Structure 1
């Protein structure tokens, strides 16, 4: 019995490892090809579409001013741009800061939410911002984001030059990557996710997932589907499914870059990632039993990916870990001993190769220090994700069984130096 469980867990783990290797190859090819699309939209000389940037902000006085300044620096005609900052029931000076800039710049607008349409989470704030917007294209940035000057131009013109794209997704970088070991590990994680899961899926399947920030979507789509799902903790993943079901694809365009702040303490990281995991589990449950009703069957690739990752892959890892621990206490008479050790070693080397390949696609990231961190990451950070998903699954099951309301956790922000170093 123990042999069967171990074989099953290793099989599940290796399916995902091979799939990730497949994706990373696609990500590498996309890193070589996306400049062609960038060159195309840079030489068209077309008229700029009207863009509304939505920035939900709840108690963001620590970071909101720098974000607003980055909006002012955008290389986009200001008569074609409106920046709508949704002060979502803040109790700090967020509203005062936003009002000050709104008085000075005509393209910056403040929306102050009031109960009962306030403080319920990001989706609710975005829907309030959408009601106040007038753009043909809706872009979203978190309140801690500082997009590079050309980011909106790439996203907006990208959509205009690709009628099959319902949304255009940019790349995000970690502005506080050098703060401590945790932020360095998160930096490696985010780069790997984008070049593997985003770029890889786009290259092979013409699919990507809308992130929480640095993306643009056609207003007509949001109007037709009724905006964001206010019950979803991962509103971005849920929105992606509905965009695909309308017959569009979501394009990953890494030329559009934004810099965002990541958690600097383990407590903040745990709470933020738990919300992400619970949000993705909500999406799985929402569409798992209604997949036959989806018009675009291509969506099944993404739903299956989330299902496999959160249940089969992490389940396989937990099973293998459990067998290993039990075998230390009592002899389970495993017949796979040396083979399992060899598979674990090869699996680790494959993980190492995939992450290093992702780092090689960014300037100054494939360094000796980061290589050592990847070794450390496998034994620590990656393992924490396993327990986090188990915990998030428990919370979601409890929420469903007891019909609890999902509560939004706003990620704590940290004060950054006045002049950010974007060479992190």
Structure 2
């Protein structure tokens, strides 16, 4: 029975949390259905002729990983004469330029172009670097890989096959996996998060709505689209989400391709993780603010769903998590009194069970991930890693407000490599 303001706040916060949990559960279930469909589909995915592709790699102080990345792309199972690699070494102060030049000298017969920028035309973020590389490209299809990526040999072929067989697709996205997942507990959490929130939820959105959002890497986009929209928005630090919205407003969709995978290095320390995720949150607030008007535009189509999804996470779920945790702590400490604690604990426990179930469903789609070790990690994840998300969201929101008020220039927010 509701007897005071804290009861109403607690119930409202739990309701907000439950909405997001149920949405994610629907997406993951649909993603699993999508996985089953593709898992049993054994039809060959081969084109008679493959088009020329330009691969862009934006890089800033990436000496620790850039050689492995470029070499893996040189080793792709794709006709050597049908793709070029353009590395934008953007205002780097480390040894990246020498490493890249050595790779170019070792492969004189390949389409490998190195663009070294300074602090005048470069150093202004990933979007600016991509625009610089795009101006030097010649392919009708543009592929993007981050500087720490090692795509599987068939990754590019799968993306090309998907977009060539879907004229309504403005872009095609693949999966990305954590290659340093066994480093420590943090990377184990990130690995599970990537499977759950990134690719299985993406597959669910495609299954339900024929709608996906471009990730930062392992995707293919048509040159004609980039030319029409004028390239990447240099004010966006989550340029992938921002450009997704513009593609949909042009009447195209973004296709999900589960057969294309790349492996990337994830943060290995909390401090690096916080910086990376704060950038993501801040960038998503920018995208929400820029596109909020489309929430009331019936012609906006799937953009409205994504805006509602972002709003549910970054406003309602965030507020619900902060309020419910605060009330629990204050109630436990005897500072306030609530009368529905039994009901709230039941709702919390049910939410916890659904979280475990949805992540378990996700891990079953990847070979070797459905095991006892990961199950224990999932049990811990809800109380630790997921709670850090609240801290990151607060940091990102404050940073976004400061950027807006003081009109701060966009710069590289590079994830530290190991």
Moved more, 2-11 or 325-334: 325-334
Change (3 A) 1:97 1:294: farther
For residues 300 and 244 of structure 1, the distance between their equivalents in structure 2, rounded to whole angstroms, comes to: 11
Q: In 1, are the aligned partners of 2:144 and 2:220 still within 8 Å (CA)? A: yes
Q: 1:371 aligns with which of 372, 375, 381?
A: 375
| Match in the other structure for 2:358 | 354
Query: Unaligned stretches of 5+ in structure 2?
Result: none
Q: 2:64 aligns with which of 62, 65, 83?
A: 62
What displacement does 1:391 show?
1.6
What displacement does 1:297 show?
2.5
What displacement does 1:295 show?
4.4
* 2:409 is equivalent to residue 405 of structure 1: yes
What displacement does 1:407 show?
3.7
What displacement does 1:8 show?
0.8
* 3-state SS in 1 of match to 2:382: helix
For residues 292 and 345 of structure 1, the distance between their equivalents in structure 2, rounded to whole angstroms, comes to: 36
| Match in the other structure for 1:417 | none
What displacement does 1:398 show?
2.2
For residues 205 and 250 of structure 2, the distance between their equivalents in structure 1, rounded to whole angstroms, comes to: 19
Q: 2:255 aligns with which of 251, 256, 259?
A: 251
| Match in the other structure for 1:101 | 103
For residues 37 and 74 of structure 1, the distance between their equivalents in structure 2, rounded to whole angstroms, comes to: 24
Cα deviations across residues 247-285 of structure 1 (Å, max 9, x unaligned)? 111111111010100011111111011101111111001
| Match in the other structure for 1:183 | 187
Change (3 A) 1:140 1:69: same
For residues 5 and 203 of structure 1, the distance between their equivalents in structure 2, rounded to whole angstroms, comes to: 35
For residues 5 and 387 of structure 1, the distance between their equivalents in structure 2, rounded to whole angstroms, comes to: 21
Cα deviations across residues 378-423 of structure 1 (Å, max 9, x unaligned)? 1100000011101211111222223333443101111xxxxxxxxx
- TM-score w.r.t. the length of structure 1 is 0.94
| Match in the other structure for 2:176 | 172
For residues 40 and 362 of structure 2, the distance between their equivalents in structure 1, rounded to whole angstroms, comes to: 20
Q: In 2, are the aligned partners of 1:55 and 1:86 still within 8 Å (CA)? A: yes
Q: In 1, are the aligned partners of 2:237 and 2:280 still within 8 Å (CA)? A: yes
Query: Unaligned stretches of 5+ in structure 1?
Result: 415-424
* 3-state SS in 2 of match to 1:209: coil
What displacement does 1:50 show?
0.9
Change (3 A) 1:274 1:118: same
| Match in the other structure for 1:418 | none
Aligned residues: 412
Q: In 1, are the aligned partners of 2:294 and 2:304 still within 8 Å (CA)? A: no
